[in-house]
Amino acid sequence: MRLSSFSDYSLRVLMYLGLHVGRLATISEIAGAYGISDNHLTKVVHQLGRMGYVETVRGKGGGIRLGKAPEAIRLGEVIRQTEVDWALVECFSTGTSCQIQAACRLPSILDEALAAMFLVLDGYTLADLLQSPEGLAKKIPLPALAQPA
């Protein structure tokens, strides 16, 4: 199983904003820090805003910031809301034509495994990802601020 780039980028945006609390960030700034397309990140930030994880400030000097405290953002919740397809195998999808579906135990085993994964993820918050901010900040530093003339 692999998370979509949408979920990956969502977590990265939240981590960036969590590292740089107290200031507004821009989509271009975050995209540049991670080497991600601005257009794709715009969609991610828009969705995170609709979910309440991110607040946007419009106008000159605007940007984005966390909409909730890092301790209130559960990783499992973010991933549940940003992933669209949990059909790990064909028989999880509607309209399947699997001939052994009625007798197969695989769906129930995979359901159990997925539930276990979310049990673990629900035990962690964004704050847990930010416990060693120095190391992360070295990898995704603030952009250089323009010096006044």
* Structural domains of the chain, with CATH: 5-139 (1.10.10.10)
Using CA atoms, how far apart are residues 52 and 48, in angstroms rounded to an integer? 6
> Tell me, what's the pLDDT at 106?
86
pLDDT in tens, the chain (149 residues): 788 999 999 999 999 999 888 889 999 999 998 999 999 999 999 999 999 999 999 988 889 999 999 999 999 999 999 998 777 776 766 666 777 777 888 888 988 998 999 999 999 999 999 987 667 766 765 665 433 33
Using CA atoms, how far apart are residues 65 and 54, in angstroms rounded to an integer? 6
| 114 burial level (CB within 10 Å; 0-12, 13-18, 19+) | middle
* pTM recorded for the entire structure: 0.84
